[in-house]
Amino acid sequence: MFTMIMSANGPLKGKRVLLTRAAHQVAPTVELLRERGAEPVAFPVIAMGPPPEPEQVTRAARELSRYDLVAFTSKNGVDWFWRELERLGLDAGALGTAKVAAIGPATGASLTERGATVDIEAETYVAEHLAEAILDASLPAGARVLLLRALVAREALPDALRAAGMKVDIVPVYETVPGSVERRDELRQLIGSIDIVMLTSASTATKLCELLGDDAPSQLARCMIASIGPITSAAAIDLGLEVAVTATESTTAGLVEATEAALS
């Protein structure tokens, strides 16, 4: 963990920074950037919606006692699953004796705020690290694992757990959908005035390029591309983007800190 030194006269002063994450998540980044004299421009290229088969979520919420471990891979996953628990009149007590695993401190904090005890927490927001933490825990042989995640996600975590003999049920609790589709032309005009583009997930990289079209890499070539972590950077590079900054701590604060350091 680092200590951030805030200054409105630092290297971010006057920089126009495009924020691509979902609208309900952007406020903390806006605040951090304004404190540093930057001009944040919120343009959500993704949004969150219910999964295509919500009955699976209902069933999972009612059958939590069947599992040895319940794993959450994002704060969004916690938010969406708890909506269903509350709709059913349930709370953290429904987890029973199941251990709870979380990827990253923000996901863990979201669970703790709701009364859940987090037994296993990966310090980084990387699926492979959560898999290692789970495999190091004292779970019974052939443990039954409930993985609550987005509809589209990497398979690294379930693959690693299944390879170790665990029985993994995957239940999508939300879906990442395109945001601001109707503002495509506005985005193309806006890019010319942007100094820095912040990407906070592989989905933001993908949807941004989809909105900009086939020439997205050339449109973004003049911008500094700042990524929240290695998985996001890999996705951006696969899309033809040149990533200038990859945060070592995959949090909003870590991304701002890494961007500031790169400009110093």
**Tens-digit pLDDT profile for residues 159-168:** 999 999 999 9
Better pLDDT: 53 or 123: 53
Chain mean pLDDT for the chain? 94
Establish if 11 belongs to a structural domain: no
At CA 147, angle to CA 77 and CA 68, rounded to 5?
125
Question: 36 and 66: one domain?
Answer: no
The 3-state DSSP class for residue 245 equals strand
Q: 211 - beta bridge partners?
A: none
Establish if 166 belongs to a structural domain: yes
pTM of the model: 0.86
pLDDT level of residue 5 (50, 70, 90 thresholds)? very low
pLDDT, tens digit, 9 for 90 and up, residues 40-52 = 999 999 999 999 9
**Cβ neighbours around 237 below 10 Å, total:** 15
Establish if 1 belongs to a structural domain: no
pLDDT, tens digit, 9 for 90 and up, residues 163-217 = 999 999 999 999 999 887 888 999 999 999 999 999 999 999 999 999 999 999 9
- Residue 180 pLDDT: 79
pLDDT at 251 over 50: yes
Nearest residue to 221 via CA among 212, 230, 210: 212
Q: How far is 249 from 78, CA to CA, in rounded Å?
A: 21
Residue range of the domain that includes 251: 16-45+179-263
Q: Among 176, 209, 242, identify where a domain stops.
A: 176
pLDDT at 3 over 80: no
Query: Which residue matches tokens 């980084």?
Result: 124
Question: 158 and 194: one domain?
Answer: no
Q: What is the mean pLDDT of residues 13-29?
A: 96
Residue 47 contacts residue 71 (beta carbons within 8 Å): no
Nearest residue to 51 via CA among 43, 59, 41: 59
pLDDT level of residue 7 (50, 70, 90 thresholds)? low
